[in-house]
Homo-oligomer: A and B are copies of this chain.
């Protein structure tokens, strides 16, 4: 079988480097082109020197993209920039997997309210499929434009979906206390990711108004068919990668610990990247992989369900999930190229 031909738009960020890192060992695809406006003409390994000898492709400007015959492109671009390219690529024959937040919400209005910028391509919102394979496998298979989920939403949605699908919890007071590694803030140096502001430190941020709140709520609404109200609080961990979300929800009926665990087992029986863990998972347990590890338990004393959900924010929370979506689109094994084993320690 011929290898599928891939383009990567945006080379300088972590998402770009993770896509290249993983696709380099993918058996069924070939990276045909990587674009960068700021570093065009340089090698990919000039931008990411640890890839010297591994990924030495020359970067080209996006203007040259028509010279390449492509089956699929990944957009590894910031929010607000991505929609412009999705619009430009409207009539191209290649599929698009967009890793930004531009097409994840349910309407232009909601986007503009939470992102505080105008959306220039609302038609894309209509067409886009939310790329959560564990929930929308069949839609993804047929999609031309996939909105790859955000990192926090991935951890929260995979944790809560079984409970909401089974109509087992109160939906108006779900608390998601999330903790993320620094790479979530991107590769550009700024105060928030300055070493001495992060090392041996920890803080909450974005209280009450982080954009991922509405992304989580939107998807959970569709899963639960009830309106959900989510309290989402992100925190910044002194680690490179990883998200751990601790989730609290009150059951609406009598709960049995074993049946609760059984519910998750059944819900994720066909999900190769969801691991139901025997004990509380740590973020290093999934580092470098596409796994989402889940642990669920019930506290009789307080009548609360507690969930712990962990992912690698750059992989299951970004590049890995995008490649999982690509595998589905092309009809490959869902795990193809993603047989990554945690690097621990």
Query: CB within 8 Å of B: which residues of A?
Result: 14, 17, 21, 24-25, 48-54, 173, 175, 177, 179, 182-183, 187, 189-191, 193-205, 207-208, 229-231, 233, 235, 237-242, 244, 246, 248, 250, 275, 277-288, 297, 299, 301-302, 304, 306, 308, 339, 341-345
Q: Contacts of A24 on B, CB cut-off 8 Å?
A: 341
Q: Contacts of A25 on B, CB cut-off 8 Å?
A: 339, 341
Pick the contact of A179: B14, B187, B196, B235 (CB < 8 A): B235
Tell me, rounded to whole Å, the shortest Cβ–Cβ distance linking A320 to chain B.
12
Q: Contacts of A281 on B, CB cut-off 8 Å?
A: 203
Best-surrounded residue of A14, A204, A230, A280 (most CB of chain B within 10 A)? A204
A301 to B173, CA, bound (A): 11
Contact: A208 with B52, CB < 8 Å? no
Contact: A201 with B239, CB < 8 Å? yes
Contact: A199 with B195, CB < 8 Å? yes
A233 to B247, CA, bound (A): 10
A275 to B49, CA, bound (A): 12
Pick the contact of A50: B49, B183, B285 (CB < 8 A): B285
Best-surrounded residue of A189, A200, A204 (most CB of chain B within 10 A)? A200
Q: Contacts of A244 on B, CB cut-off 8 Å?
A: 202-204, 235
Contact: B52 with A275, CB < 8 Å? yes
Tell me, rounded to whole Å, the shortest Cβ–Cβ distance linking A29 to chain B.
15
Q: Contacts of A54 on B, CB cut-off 8 Å?
A: 341-342
> What residue in chain B is nearest A279 (Cβ atoms)?
B49
A77 to B14, CA, bound (A): 34
Pick the contact of A241: B183, B198, B250, B345 (CB < 8 A): B345
Tell me, rounded to whole Å, the shortest Cβ–Cβ distance linking A319 to chain B.
12
Q: Contacts of A193 on B, CB cut-off 8 Å?
A: 189, 194-196
